[in-house]
Structure 1
Amino acid sequence: MSFRTFLFAVLLTAAASSQAIAANAGFMVLREPRPDGQAPVEVGVWYPTDAKPAFMPLGSWGHTVAAGAPIVGERLPLIVMSHGNGGFFGGHADTAQALAEAGFVVAALTHPGDNYKDQSRATAMADRPAALSALIGWMLESSPLKARIDPEKVGAFGFSSGGFTVLAAAGGEPHLSRMPGHCLAHPKNFDCKLTAGHPIPAGSLTAKWVHDDRIKAVVSAAPALGFTFGKNGLKGIKAPIQLWKAADDEILPGDDYAEAVHRDLGRPHDYHVVEGARHFDFLTPCDTAPPGASQALCESAPGFDRRAFHRTFNAAVTRFFTDQLVAPAKPLPKG
């Protein structure tokens, strides 16, 4: 099935495959405590509600939500979200809104040490799955919404460095020792420029990767460092995977990222290559242009309609999580 045919099919079936328990999305920003006096983690939370929503700006984009509204539903599935390098919790606001409207609780963290304000731990990759697992624990055990979440229905969504994060958190074992050889061959790739300026901390090369078997489904979009897993490094992932690649990815070009994961998984998974898409087309469409160097976050290739793509992307992501977490799990196509 071609990608365009798939997207058309998704649009026709998205309504039928969602839970449709609430009309709208609620939204709040929470602070997840951390031990040892560290600053709390900023967490954006979207959830189903019947309250009337309104458009709310969020960074250079926005979402249509009912801020602080009462939650609707019981034993709701949870999706945790991991943003890319230098991002923040709101990078996928429209996708989170779509999931909330379909009956999911969505919790997206701003990664400590790797966000738009603080790059001090930008290459400490082992920090990321540990932070995502801690977020799952906090949402299930201590958050204000804990009583409404089904602990048996947890999924993870990630983009770029976040796409790497969700694969590692779900059981992947990356080998960062593969970085020097990769960067010798591809010194102009973003990951190689980043590690040249921010060398990977020595402790991260030997750190134990945190895995969380509560994650029952994974969506990974344009995953960074896909080549670091290899076939053996992906064997520990038991959850079903939906994998996305931007065909014209200018940040992580070539076959060492999403394509490497696709090639090395060795089992059926849901793989999509988006023709005409660049790396940042997986981010929420922009309403206002960000200043300076951040303008690239909002730019798509001529002729590529990011808003149209997101309608189908959000429907596909929602359908996947619904099929795997809510409805009886459906077999995935062979990747």
Structure 2
Amino acid sequence: MSLRHALAAALLAAVVSSPALLPSQALAANAGFMVLREPRADGQAPVEVGIWYPTDAKPTFMALGSWGHTVAAGAPVAGEHLPLIVMSHGNGGFFGGHADTAQALAEAGFVVAALTHPGDNYKDQSRASAMSDRPAALSALIGWMLESSPLKAKLDPARVGAFGFSSGGFTVLAAAGGEPDLSKVLAHCQAHPANYDCQLTARIPIPADGLTARWIHDPRIKAVVSAAPALGFTFGADGLSGITAPVQLWKAADDEILPGDDYAEAVHRNLSRPHDYRVVPGARHFDFLTPCDTAPPGGAQALCASAPGFDRRAFHRTFNAAVTQFFTDQLVAPVKSLPGH
């Protein structure tokens, strides 16, 4: 099944018009929500950005594709000097793929900005294998949020984290200092032609500029959560040595899209610094996506289908709490006593 087509079928009808359980001390606010357009240079189309943030306004349930979130649309932002989390979705996705995780973080006092990656989303796959585009776009999003966005005055530029899933998991590792070597893809795909990344690059070859481009690193990223990262094997030990931010790394034990030990396990093996590594028994690749509220159309059932006996909603209560606690420990606790915080 093509992930691009699955996501397109699930999301084409989405109209942007289940709260997660968190530790009691984190329930500081409800979640507000808005969709903004980040301008780009040279007349390129603006980037779609979904933003979740703390608010005191009363939230209501809103549908978002085959899932939803409980938010107060367009409500005022509550708080000052707020930490920022930027989110990077997987191949063929969109900004709302982790809506429940974003909602949980907003309820805990974070502003979350999730972009729809240009050239790699459910509408447009023209640059799906140009992986260097992704960290560049994520870094640009950080700059826009801190310097030009309507929320800039509410944000603390010293407290920025990054969350990513699948291709987004790769993205946040690269943006935080990782140096992948995409020349390793050829040998990998000769050995594993059935893997999804190899099917993707066979269909959409890595462009020449994607092999020679400079990787954009952003030192403003102070903490990283990477779930089921794609192309983990391309980093190696040397390629991960530039990551100095704390890392929480997740692996789906029964990942059918990125199977085996070449992805999250390769990052775990080669990331020499201490990090928080979590393997989720019984989880499949898409279990990191928000649990579905409605059956997706067409061939997109894999996005919502978990293995028999795996409770995706229960897992997300644990997952969202762990992600929120990690970012709280790394971005809130160390600086809460500083002047202005």
* TM-score relative to the length of structure 2: 0.91
Q: Distance in 1 between matches of 2:229 and 2:256?
A: 13
Q: Distance in 2 between matches of 1:99 and 1:304?
A: 24
Alignment partner of 1:242 out of 234, 248, 273 = 248
**1:189 has 2:188 as partner:** no
**1:226 has 2:235 as partner:** no
Deviation string 1:293-319 (CA, Å, 9 cap, x unpaired) is: 221100000000000000000000000
Aligned residue type for 1:171: G
| Counterpart for residue 71 of structure 2 | 65
Deviation of residue 172 (structure 1)?
0.1
Structure 2 spans left out of the alignment, 5+ residues: 1-19, 336-341
**1:14 has 2:14 as partner:** no
Determine helix, strand or coil for the equivalent of 1:26: strand
Q: Distance in 1 between matches of 2:41 and 2:209?
A: 20
Instruction: Judge conservation of contact 1:14–1:316 (CA < 8 Å) in 2.
Output: no
Deviation of residue 290 (structure 1)?
1.5
| Counterpart for residue 332 of structure 1 | none
Determine helix, strand or coil for the equivalent of 1:327: helix
Aligned residue type for 2:181: H
Aligned residue type for 2:161: G
Deviation of residue 263 (structure 1)?
0.2
Deviation string 1:175-234 (CA, Å, 9 cap, x unpaired) is: 000001000110000000000000000111010000000000000000000000000000
| Counterpart for residue 46 of structure 1 | 52
| Counterpart for residue 85 of structure 2 | 79
**1:299 has 2:308 as partner:** no
| Counterpart for residue 179 of structure 2 | 173
Q: Distance in 1 between matches of 2:71 and 2:202?
A: 40
Deviation of residue 279 (structure 1)?
0.0
The 1:266–1:102 alpha-carbon spacing in structure 2 relative to 1, beyond 3 Å, is same
| Counterpart for residue 273 of structure 1 | 279
| Counterpart for residue 268 of structure 2 | 262
Q: Distance in 1 between matches of 2:145 and 2:242?
A: 24
**1:212 has 2:221 as partner:** no
Instruction: Judge conservation of contact 1:21–1:73 (CA < 8 Å) in 2.
Output: no
* TM-score relative to the length of structure 1: 0.93
Identity of aligned residues (%): 84
Determine helix, strand or coil for the equivalent of 1:46: strand
The 1:13–1:85 alpha-carbon spacing in structure 2 relative to 1, beyond 3 Å, is closer
- Of stretches 39-48 and 293-302 in structure 1, the one that deviates more from structure 2 is 293-302
Deviation string 1:264-294 (CA, Å, 9 cap, x unpaired) is: 0011100000000000000000011212222
| Counterpart for residue 9 of structure 2 | none
Deviation of residue 12 (structure 1)?
11
Instruction: Judge conservation of contact 2:94–2:117 (CA < 8 Å) in 1.
Output: yes
The number of equivalent residue pairs is: 316
Deviation string 1:232-266 (CA, Å, 9 cap, x unpaired) is: 00000000000000000000000000000000001
* Aligned-CA RMSD value: 1.2
Deviation of residue 100 (structure 1)?
0.1
Q: Distance in 2 between matches of 1:274 and 1:56?
A: 29
Deviation of residue 50 (structure 1)?
0.5
Determine helix, strand or coil for the equivalent of 2:222: strand
> Where does 1:53-202 land on structure 2 (aligned, <5 Å)?
53-202=59-208
Deviation of residue 15 (structure 1)?
2.8
The 1:12–1:48 alpha-carbon spacing in structure 2 relative to 1, beyond 3 Å, is closer
The 1:185–1:141 alpha-carbon spacing in structure 2 relative to 1, beyond 3 Å, is same
| Counterpart for residue 41 of structure 2 | 35
